[in-house]
Amino acid sequence: MTLYVDPPAWPGHGRLWSHLVSDASYDELHAFAARLGLSRRAFDGDHYDLPADRYADAVAAGAVEVGSREVVRLLRESGLRRPKGLRARGG
């Protein structure tokens, strides 16, 4: 089980955000996010949006730090990437 997180570089709602992803399954991603105390509302179809102030928590819990391009590559290679128009929030 490996989870990955990119650096907080994505602006929104007055904050910076990271993306938290799995390269194996959505189930492990949801379980990891739950352990971090993230709301299911933070799930954006194939990743969790993680606020910058929670980045260190994700890494301390075992998420591997990677670049943003690596996040996309991992999602594509795992078959878990969902194009933005096909993402079901919360699912």
The amino acid at 49: D
Blockwise average pLDDT, block size 10, the chain, 91 residues: 92 95 93 96 92 98 95 84 59 51
Q: What is the pTM of this model?
A: 0.84
Residue 85's CB is within 10 A of a number of other CB atoms, namely: 6
Q: What is the pLDDT of residue 81?
A: 79
17 and 50 in contact (C-beta within 8 Å)? yes
Q: What is the pLDDT of residue 85?
A: 54
**Counting runs of H as helices and runs of E as strands, what totals does the chain give?**
3, 5
Q: What is the pLDDT of residue 83?
A: 66
Distance (Å, rounded) from C-alpha 47 to C-alpha 5?
10
The helix/strand/coil state of 83 is coil
Q: What is the pLDDT of residue 87?
A: 46
* Cβ neighbours of residue 1 closer than 8 Å, sequence gap 6 or more: 22, 24, 28, 32
Distance (Å, rounded) from C-alpha 19 to C-alpha 24?
15
